[in-house]
Each structure stands twice: as structure tokens, then as C-alpha cells.
Structure 1
Amino acid sequence: MKNVSDEELMILVSNGNLDMMSILFDRYHVRIYNFLLKMTRDQDVSQDITQEVFYKVLKYRTSYKKGKFSSWIYTIARNVFSDHYQKQKNKDQRLNDIHYKTIGQETNSVDDEEIKEQLHLALMKLSHSDRELIIMNRYQGIKYQEIAEIMDSTEGAVKTKVHRAIHKLKEYYLQKI
């Protein structure tokens, strides 16, 4: 089954072969979780949202239209994250007010931690859409064309938006130094 494409697997899932979902889950759950972790900086919330993403993939499997699977699942992840964010906003808890948990990774240098924290603070100052673009492109390594599909945009527009978002990030980061 390693040679079967994501799209072929999803077609099997959409036709009722739910066992194939475990292969797609194995291929994508870490990527989706990491994407959401960069967005939320909360492991528990990211795990919950990741679970919700795969629940929605199964629930709406018949709506899959044979396009690129990774674009489809990232679109679902964005929508589930957006729904979560809106619920939090309605509870008067803005994303920046959430107390972040530290990831249990030790670094050898205090400077590295400070740089990471300053970069994170700068990243959190960006708008939701700019932050999302940088995380998808720079942290997740998603190509411009695929981001364009996910965001229902053009590749050129995505390149421009990513460039502008990085410029803003650099400005916010340099303000702290």
C-alpha cells in the first residue's frame, strides 16, 4: 500500500473502504498536528483539533472530489482551526491570551531559547492569515501552488502574500532586538 497515492486511498475511503483511512492517518496526522501546533502553541488544543480534522475527513468523505488530497485535508484543518478560534473569540479569549505550554525540548543555549521566543512573539503579532501562510510555507514546507489550492487563490498571489508576511515578521522581530 506504500505505492498507492493519497488520492487513490481517499477515493477508496469515500467509496466505503474505511480501513484505508488508517494509512492516510499515518501519513498525515503528524503533519496536521505540527501545523496546528505552530498555530496554537498548545499541545492539547492541537491534539483535539487534529482529532476533529480526521473526524471531519471521515464524516465528509463523500464530498471528496478527486483533487489533491493534501490540499483538501489542509483546507479542512484550516476550517476546523478557524472554527475553534471563533469559539475562543466568542468566549472573549483571544489567541494571544491563551497560556502556552512549553514543548519539552531542552536546548543547549539560553540564547537559542530567547531567539525562538522572540520569533514566536513576532509571529503571534502577525494577522491570522499572515501567520498561517508563514507556517504552511516555511515551517511545513508546503509549496506555493498547493497553498494556492488550499486558500483558493493563485500561486502568484500566495508568493506575494508570503513575501509581505515575512517582511512584517522581520519588522516585528527586529523591534524586539
Structure 2
Amino acid sequence: MKNSTDEELMILVSNGDLDMMSILFERYHIRIFNFLLKMTRDRDISQDITQEVFYKAIKYRKSYKKGKFSSWIYTIARNIFSDHYQSQKTKEQRLDEIEYKMEQEENGSLEKEEIKEQLNKALEKLNHTDRELVIMSRYQGIKYQEIAEITGSTAGAIKTKVHRAIHKLKDHYLQNI
């Protein structure tokens, strides 16, 4: 079963073979966690949301329409993150006001850490949509077509939006230097 495609496994899960979700979990939990970590900048919240993503994937398995599994699971992750973000806003907290925990590389050089910190600061200055697009395309390596499926847009529009977001990121980064 480990040689099966994600879509074949999810069809089995949607038909009641819940054990197959463990294979999908192994394939995707780190990617989903890293995506959420870049969005939330909080390891604990990212772990909680990642668990919720897979819980909802099982709970709503019947809603899987035999499309690309990665698009479906990332859509669930985006929706849960969005719900979390909205609940934080209703508590009169903004994403940029939350204290973020920085994971320090044990063997990283000071220069690398400074560059990483400056890049993260610049990333935080982007609006939610631009930050999400940069994270999905550059950090997660998701192709424009797949991002388009996840966000309900076209690949051409996503390519343009990512290009503009990268320029904004560059401008913010250069302001911090």
C-alpha cells in the first residue's frame, strides 16, 4: 500500500479504510506542520492545527472528491488556520502582535541567524495573503497550479501574485538591513 498514490489511499480512507490515513499522515504531517509554523510562528499552535487538519480529514473523508489529495489537505489546513487567525483577531490580537518563538539552529552561524531573522521580519510585514503565497511557493515548493487549486484561483494569477509578493518581501528585507 505504501506504493499507492495519495489519491488512491484517500479513496480507500473515504470508503472506510481508516488505517490508510496513517500512510498519508506520514507523507504529509511534516509539510503541513512546516507550512503552519511559517504562518503562525508558534510551534505549539502549529502542532495543534496539524492534528486538527488530520482529524478533519478523517471526519470529512466523504467530502473528498477524488481530486489531487495535496490540494485537498492544504485547503483544510488553510481553512483551519484562517479560523484560528480570525479567532485571534476577535480577541483583539493581531498576528503581528503575537510573541513568536524562534527556533535557534544549534550549529548555525550568527550571520545566518541574522539573515534568517531579517527575512522573517520582512515576511511578517507582508499581508496575510502575500505571506501565505510566499510560504507555499518558496518554502513549501508547491507549484503554481496546485496553489491555484488550493486558493481557488488560476495558475497565471498565482504566478503574478507570487511575483509581486516576492518584490514586496525584497523591499521589506532591504529596509531592515
TM range (shorter): over 0.9
Q: Which residue of 1 aligns with 2:26?
A: 26
Q: CA deviation at 1:21?
A: 0.7
- CA RMSD across the alignment: 0.9
Mapped pair 1:167 → 2:167:
yes
Q: Which residue of 2 aligns with 1:56?
A: 56
CA contact (8 A) 1:40 1:46 kept: yes
Q: CA deviation at 1:105?
A: 1.9
| Large movers: runs of 4+ above 4 Å | none
Instruction: Give a deviation string over 1:68-111, Cα, whole Å, max 9, x none.
Output: 00000000000000000000111111111111112142244212
> TM-score, normalised on structure 1?
0.98
Q: CA deviation at 1:158?
A: 0.4
Q: In structure 1, how many angstroms separate the alpha carbons of the residues matched to 2:172 and 2:106?
A: 26
Q: In structure 1, how many angstroms separate the alpha carbons of the residues matched to 2:108 and 2:124?
A: 25
Q: In structure 1, how many angstroms separate the alpha carbons of the residues matched to 2:8 and 2:136?
A: 24
Q: Which residue of 1 aligns with 2:138?
A: 138
2:29 counterpart letter in structure 1 = H
Residues 171, 107 of structure 1: CA spacing in aligned structure 2 closer, same or farther, 3 A cutoff? Answer: farther
Mapped pair 1:79 → 2:79:
yes
1:115 counterpart letter in structure 2 = I
Instruction: Give a deviation string over 1:97-136, Cα, whole Å, max 9, x none.
Output: 1111121422442121111111101001101000000000
1:60 counterpart letter in structure 2 = Y
2:169 counterpart letter in structure 1 = L
Q: In structure 2, how many angstroms separate the alpha carbons of the residues matched to 1:124 and 1:159?
A: 21
Q: In structure 2, how many angstroms separate the alpha carbons of the residues matched to 1:83 and 1:108?
A: 35
Q: Which residue of 2 aligns with 1:10?
A: 10
Q: Which residue of 1 aligns with 2:122?
A: 122
Q: In structure 2, how many angstroms separate the alpha carbons of the residues matched to 1:162 and 1:108?
A: 29
Q: In structure 2, how many angstroms separate the alpha carbons of the residues matched to 1:108 and 1:51?
A: 30
Residue correspondences, number = 177
Q: In structure 2, how many angstroms separate the alpha carbons of the residues matched to 1:108 and 1:132?
A: 26
Instruction: Give a deviation string over 1:8-43, Cα, whole Å, max 9, x none.
Output: 100110011111111111110000000000111110
CA contact (8 A) 1:107 1:113 kept: no
Q: In structure 1, how many angstroms separate the alpha carbons of the residues matched to 2:94 and 2:108?
A: 32
Percent identity, aligned pairs only?
77
Instruction: Give a deviation string over 1:46-88, Cα, whole Å, max 9, x none.
Output: 0000011111101110000000000000000000000000001
CA contact (8 A) 1:35 1:140 kept: yes
